[in-house]
Structure formats: structure tokens, C-alpha cells
Amino acid sequence: MPETFSKKIAAESVKRTTLSEAAHQAIRRNIITGVLAPGSKLAVAALAQALKLSATPINEALAGLEREGLVTYSPHRGYFVRTVTPEDIEETYSVREAFELLAVRNAAKNADKTVIGQLREILQKSRQSLRETDTSRFSDLDLEFHRVIWNSLNNSLATRVGELIGVQIRLLVATTARAPGRFRGAFEEHNDIYQAIRNRDPARAESSMRTHLHNAKTALEHAVFEEAGTGSNVSAIGASKTKPGAKRGLAREVSAQSVPKQRT
């Protein structure tokens, strides 16, 4: 294969990846912040128009979001923002509590310096994301905080279980993002957990984690109850029920990332 042809293929691949990632981040951010409400239909054509992209990176982005658990796909109907149900909350938290309490006790018992350093760094970044009101960034750091604790078990099976739970957590965090003050509360609870681990106090670490999970579950139940009471804002980007400015907001986010504007 000629070298120039190989370089061209590589360049096209990089450009497509960049566009897909930009679309992924823009759509994801709008799901997490609630601009795209639970149950909203994600019309590829409308998203492509809003983001000034072709259908290819949009489809790739939506497929990635489906793997993340933030959207669902229905044959002949398309993609929708996933809706959290009371059953989702109960199933996730019944498993999550048992798993996370085990992990946090182990982390506090060992008080590994690397783990403590990682948690401290995540908390510093989380504080900054709160100052910048970057809820999407905070949700990533929220999950990373818990992932560090899971991984401290040094157990490959536990890591896989944690990642499965993590998919559900990401969706649930997107729901609690609409609960006023919840991210600030989660940050403070994470700090309590960190202090207990740093001080080698398994009992306090477990108690702090239990409180954190209880508060998160309660916030979720309230958010789901309110959505059920008011009716979800089912819509598609470009449809009449889309929140004002959604299309402009999506386009601005992609533009801000300075991605190529050529259509692929």
C-alpha cells in the first residue's frame, strides 16, 4: 500500500475519531445536565444539524453512550435518553451497598499511600469542577473516586463487578444532577470517606460510605418521583418540546472543542 495512501487513511481515521468524541461529549454533557430529559428521543438528523456534523460521528457517539448506559436503542425507533425507574434504583443500590462497604473497609484497613494520593487528587479536581459548575466533569470524578476504592481490593473479579455497577452509577448521577445541592453534598461525603481512609479507620469509613449511599439513593428517589409527577419532557432535538437553547448549546460545545468542521 502506498505510503501517501496509508497516511491519508490514518488522517481520516483520526479526524473521524475526533468528531465522534466531540459529539459524544456534547450529547453526554446535555444528558447529565438535564438539557436532554429522560425519555427524550435522540434523532440523528436533528443532532447532526445542531452539531454541524454528518450522521456518521453522531451514530458513533450514540453507540458509545449506549455502551455507557446513558441511552437505549430500540429497533425501528432509534435512540432515547434512558429513564431511571424505582426498580433500577433498588436493584443498583442493594448490590452497590454490599460491594462498596466491603471495598471501603479494605481501603481504610490498608491505607495505601497510592490510594490516598489518588483520592486526594480526585477531591481537588472535584472541588474545582464545583467552582466551575461543571457537572459533567464532576460526575466523571465522582465515579473515579469510587473506582479507586474498588480497585484497592486488588481483585480482578471485584474490578469487573465495580465496572458493571459503574455503568448504572453514571446514569443515576445524571439523574441526581438535577437535584439542587446534591453534588456539593456528594463532595462533602467523599471528603469524609477520604479522611476515614487516610486515618486508617475502617468503622468510620464504612459509616461514611453508608451515609453517602443513603443520601445518594434518597436524592435519586426524590428526582424520579418528581419526574413521574410532572411527566418527563419527552422530546427530540429539533422538536417543539426541546428545552430553549438546546440546539445552540450543543453546537457551541462542539465548536468550543475546536474540532474540524468538515463533514465526514
Report the chain's mean pLDDT, rounded to a whole number: 81
- The pLDDT assigned to 179 comes to 65
Q: Are 29 and 65 in contact (CB under 8 A)?
A: no
Amino acid at site 189: E
d(CA 136, CA 173): 10
Structure confidence by residue, pLDDT tens digits, 28-49: 888 876 788 888 999 999 999 9
| Packing angle, helices 86-110 and 202-230, rounded to 10 | 160
Nine cell digits for residue 221: 428517589
pLDDT-based confidence at residue 262 (cuts at 50, 70, 90): very low
| Packing angle, helices 113-131 and 135-151, rounded to 10 | 170
Q: Looking at the whole model, is its pTM more than 0.85? A: no
Q: Which residue has the cell 449506549?
A: 66
Nearest to 231 by CA among 1, 37, 31: 37
User: What is the arithmetic mean of pLDDT over 116-142?
Assistant: 93
Highest mean pLDDT pick, 73-87, 96-110, 151-165: 96-110
* DSSP labels, the chain: --HHHHHHHHHHHHHHHHHHHHHHHHHHHHHHTTSS-TT-EE-HHHHHHHHT--HHHHHHHHHHHHHHTSEEEETTTEEEEPPP-HHHHHHHHHHHHHHHHHHHHHHHHH--HHHHHHHHHHHHHHHHHHHTT-HHHHHHHHHHHHHHHHHTT--HHHHHHHHHHHHHHHHHHHHHTTSTTHHHHHHHHHHHHHHHHHTT-HHHHHHHHHHHHHHHHHHHHHHHHHHHHH-----BTTSTTSPTTHHHHHHHHHHHTT---S--
Structure confidence by residue, pLDDT tens digits, 216-244: 999 888 878 776 665 544 344 444 344 54
Q: Work out the percent of the chain whose per-residue pLDDT is above 90.
A: 50
- The pLDDT assigned to 227 comes to 66
- The pLDDT assigned to 257 comes to 45
pLDDT-based confidence at residue 201 (cuts at 50, 70, 90): very high
Structure confidence by residue, pLDDT tens digits, 56-100: 999 999 999 998 888 999 999 999 998 888 888 898 899 999 999
- The pLDDT assigned to 178 comes to 61
